């Protein structure tokens, strides 16, 4: 685990064209920096603030689109699942199944993900401490998961903001060897923008550097060529053009 793993991609699958633009750039960055970047996009955003918010193309079309990206660009794929029945279908394409933070204690979801034998990345709930994540990890491991990752994404106290306690990173490293910092979701201001999640992307690089100081072994960035036009998490996604410099800063000794 000498080099960190990077995870990057748009929050949600908006179009095949967007996936191509982002994947092509990720391959270029990966080659220049000699690091792995796992491609991330969601086929369904099932936890949007508003019923009217865009959710994505759904699992059948979405996994086909992600499969095309995997075949064309040779990138490993990460996507999140929200229901147990989605695990097997998503695992046909995805190398990493992500458990959303709000759902990290859902036993059936963890068990279903573990049984696929894919890597299971569990995002720490906004209402849990890092040490509390031993229990979701135990559920996944006892259900057959051979590789479990944990992701820090801040804590919420119900006041339209998140607070990141970076001590969660070393605490979770006592549970699993791979702990990832979600540098974009951690700058969210939940439901603070009239029915959508707000945020402040200018703090994304600083979140990454702080996580590095606390020993993070991976970094998660949602990116978009024009984040303000993104259909989900627009305020938090990092500009695609700024990703390479951000990764290069993390990689500096």
pLDDT in tens for each of the 253 residues of the chain?
A: 578 999 999 999 999 999 999 999 999 999 999 999 999 999 998 876 777 777 899 999 999 999 999 999 999 999 999 999 999 999 999 999 999 999 999 999 999 999 999 999 999 999 999 999 999 999 999 999 999 999 999 998 877 888 999 999 999 999 999 999 999 999 988 765 555 667 889 999 999 999 999 999 999 999 999 999 999 888 899 999 999 999 999 999 9
For residues 184 and 238, the answer to whether their CB atoms sit within 8 Å is: yes
Q: Are 120 and 133 in contact (CB under 8 A)?
A: no
Look-up of token digits 């092509």: 24
What distance in Å separates the CA atoms of residue 66 and residue 77, rounded to the nearest whole number?
7
Nearest alpha-carbon partner for 13 in 80, 88, 103: 80
Whether the Cβ atoms of residue 152 and residue 173 lie closer than 8 Å to each other: no
Report the pLDDT value the prediction gives residue 193, as an integer from 0 to 100: 58
pLDDT of residue 196: 63
| Among the listed residues 40, 15, 210, the one whose alpha carbon sits nearest the alpha carbon of residue 119 | 40
Burial class (CB in 10 A: 0-12, 13-18, 19+), 253: exposed
Question: What is the Cα–Cα distance from 179 to 177, expressed in whole angstroms?
Answer: 7
């Amino acid at each position: 685990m000498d080099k960190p793993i990077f995870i990057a991609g748009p929050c949600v699958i908006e179009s095949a064209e967007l996936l191509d633009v982002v994947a092509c750039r990720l391959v270029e960055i990966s080659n220049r920096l000699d690091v792995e970047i796992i491609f991330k996009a969601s086929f369904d955003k099932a936890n949007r603030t508003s019923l009217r918010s865009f959710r994505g193309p759904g699992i059948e079309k979405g996994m086909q689109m992600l499969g095309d990206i995997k075949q064309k660009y040779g990138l490993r794929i990460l996507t999140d699942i929200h229901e147990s029945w989605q695990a097997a279908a998503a695992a046909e394409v995805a190398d990493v199944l992500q458990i959303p933070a709000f759902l990290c204690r859902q036993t059936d979801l963890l068990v279903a993900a573990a049984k696929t034998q894919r890597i299971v990345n569990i995002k720490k709930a906004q209402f849990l401490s890092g040490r509390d994540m031993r229990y979701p990890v135990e559920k996944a491991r006892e259900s057959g998961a051979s590789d479990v990752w944990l992701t820090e994404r801040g804590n919420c106290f119900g006041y339209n903001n998140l607070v990141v306690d970076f001590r969660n990173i070393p605490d979770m490293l006592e549970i699993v060897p791979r702990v990832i910092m979600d540098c974009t979701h951690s700058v969210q201001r939940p439901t603070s923008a009239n029915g959508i999640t707000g945020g402040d992307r200018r703090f994304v690089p600083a979140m990454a550097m702080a996580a590095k100081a606390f020993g993070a072994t991976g970094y998660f960035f949602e990116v978009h060529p024009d984040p303000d036009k993104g259909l989900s998490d627009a305020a938090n996604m990092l500009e695609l053009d700024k990703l390479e410099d951000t990764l290069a800063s993390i990689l500096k000794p």
